[in-house]
Chain A
Amino acid sequence: MDYKTIELNLCQLEESFAKSRSNIYSDFRKEEHFQELYALFQKIKENDYQKFDEQEILNHNYLLNVIFKSLEYLDNSTLNVTPYEIISCLEFALNDWIKDDDFIIVTSLSNKKTDFYLETTLSEESFELLNQFINNKYGLKISKKLIQISLPKILSRDYLSSVVLYHELGHFVDNQLNISKKMLLKKYSINQPNDDETSRYLNHTMEYFADLFAAQYVNNSSNTYLGYIAPEHPDSQTHPATRSRINVSLDFLNSKSIEIVDEFNKLLHLSSLPLLEIRHSKIDISYCNLTKLYPQNFEDVSELHYIFQLGWDIWEDAENNFLKEFSSRQRYNIVNNLIEKSISNYVVQKNWEDANE
Chain B
Amino acid sequence: MWFRKTGKTQMNSNSKTGLLIKDEILDLLEKKELIIEPLLEIDQVGEITVDLRIGTDFLSLQQGRNAFIDTTTNNIKSRPIKSHYTQTRRKIGEYFLFHPNQPVLFSTLEYLKLPPNIYADLNLRSSFGRLGLGLSTIIQPGYCGCASVEITNRGNTPIRVLSGTRMVQIRFYKLDSNSEYFNKVRKYTCQVRPVPSKANEDSELVKLKSMKSK
Residue numbers of A with Cβ under 8 A of B are 26, 79-80, 84, 292-295, 297, 325-327, 330, 333-334, 337-338, 340-341, 344-345, 348-349, 351-352
- Pick from A294, A326, A330, A334: contact of B35, CB below 8 A: A294
Complex CA–CA separation, A341 to B192 (angstroms)? 6
- Tell me, rounded to whole Å, the shortest Cβ–Cβ distance linking B110 to chain A: 9
- Pick from B40, B90, B111: contact of A341, CB below 8 A: B111
Residue numbers of B with Cβ under 8 A of A are 35, 37-38, 40, 56, 87-92, 94, 109, 111, 113, 144-146, 182, 185, 189-193
Complex CA–CA separation, A295 to B192 (angstroms)? 10
8 closest cross-chain pairs (CB), A and B: A341-B192, A334-B190, A26-B91, A293-B144, A337-B192, A79-B89, A294-B35, A294-B113
Complex CA–CA separation, A330 to B146 (angstroms)? 16
- Tell me, rounded to whole Å, the shortest Cβ–Cβ distance linking B182 to chain A: 7
Please state if A80 and B38 are interface contacts (CB–CB under 8 Å): no
Please state if A293 and B190 are interface contacts (CB–CB under 8 Å): yes
Residue of B nearest to A24 (CB): B94
Please state if B56 and A344 are interface contacts (CB–CB under 8 Å): yes
Please state if B56 and A337 are interface contacts (CB–CB under 8 Å): no
Please state if B92 and A84 are interface contacts (CB–CB under 8 Å): no
Q: A80-B87, A341-B111, A352-B40 are in contact. Are A333 and B92 (CB under 8 A)?
A: no
User: Chain B residues with Cβ under 8 A from A345's Cβ?
Assistant: 37-38, 111
Please state if B190 and A338 are interface contacts (CB–CB under 8 Å): yes
Main secondary structure of the interface of A (DSSP, over half): helix
User: Chain A residues with Cβ under 8 A from B146's Cβ?
Assistant: 341
21 pairs from A and B in contact (CB 8 Å cutoff): A26-B94, A80-B89, A293-B113, A294-B37, A294-B111, A326-B189, A330-B189, A334-B190, A337-B145, A337-B190, A337-B191, A337-B193, A338-B192, A341-B111, A345-B38, A348-B40, A349-B38, A349-B40, A351-B92, A352-B38, A352-B92
Please state if B91 and A79 are interface contacts (CB–CB under 8 Å): yes
User: Chain A residues with Cβ under 8 A from B35's Cβ?
Assistant: 294
User: Chain B residues with Cβ under 8 A from A79's Cβ?
Assistant: 89-91
Q: A293-B144, A294-B35, A325-B182 are in contact. Are A84 and B89 (CB under 8 A)?
A: yes
Q: A297-B37, A337-B190, A344-B192 are in contact. Are A26 and B113 (CB under 8 A)?
A: no
Choose among B92, B111, B189 the residue with the greatest number of A CB atoms under 10 Å from its CB.
B111
User: Chain B residues with Cβ under 8 A from A340's Cβ?
Assistant: 192
- Tell me, rounded to whole Å, the shortest Cβ–Cβ distance linking A334 to chain B: 5
Inter-chain CB contacts under 8 Å: number: 57
Please state if B38 and A333 are interface contacts (CB–CB under 8 Å): no
Choose among A294, A338, A352 the residue with the greatest number of B CB atoms under 10 Å from its CB.
A294
Choose among B113, B190, B191 the residue with the greatest number of A CB atoms under 10 Å from its CB.
B190
- Tell me, rounded to whole Å, the shortest Cβ–Cβ distance linking A26 to chain B: 5
Choose among A26, A79, A293 the residue with the greatest number of B CB atoms under 10 Å from its CB.
A293
Complex CA–CA separation, A352 to B193 (angstroms)? 21
Please state if B189 and A334 are interface contacts (CB–CB under 8 Å): yes
Complex CA–CA separation, A295 to B92 (angstroms)? 19
- Tell me, rounded to whole Å, the shortest Cβ–Cβ distance linking A135 to chain B: 33
Please state if B109 and A348 are interface contacts (CB–CB under 8 Å): yes
User: Chain B residues with Cβ under 8 A from A84's Cβ?
Assistant: 89, 91
Given A333-B189, A337-B190, A351-B92; 7 other pairs, CB 8 A cutoff:
A79-B90, A292-B113, A294-B35, A294-B113, A297-B37, A325-B182, A333-B190
Residue of B nearest to A292 (CB): B113
- Tell me, rounded to whole Å, the shortest Cβ–Cβ distance linking B55 to chain A: 9
Residue of A nearest to B53 (CB): A348
Residue of B nearest to A355 (CB): B93
Please state if B192 and A348 are interface contacts (CB–CB under 8 Å): no
- Tell me, rounded to whole Å, the shortest Cβ–Cβ distance linking B39 to chain A: 10
- Pick from A26, A325, A337: contact of B90, CB below 8 A: A26
User: Chain A residues with Cβ under 8 A from B111's Cβ?
Assistant: 294-295, 341, 345
User: Chain A residues with Cβ under 8 A from B92's Cβ?
Assistant: 348, 351-352
Please state if A80 and B88 are interface contacts (CB–CB under 8 Å): yes
- Tell me, rounded to whole Å, the shortest Cβ–Cβ distance linking A66 to chain B: 28
User: Chain B residues with Cβ under 8 A from A325's Cβ?
Assistant: 182
- Tell me, rounded to whole Å, the shortest Cβ–Cβ distance linking B51 to chain A: 15
Choose among B37, B56, B91 the residue with the greatest number of A CB atoms under 10 Å from its CB.
B37
- Tell me, rounded to whole Å, the shortest Cβ–Cβ distance linking B2 to chain A: 13
- Tell me, rounded to whole Å, the shortest Cβ–Cβ distance linking B114 to chain A: 11
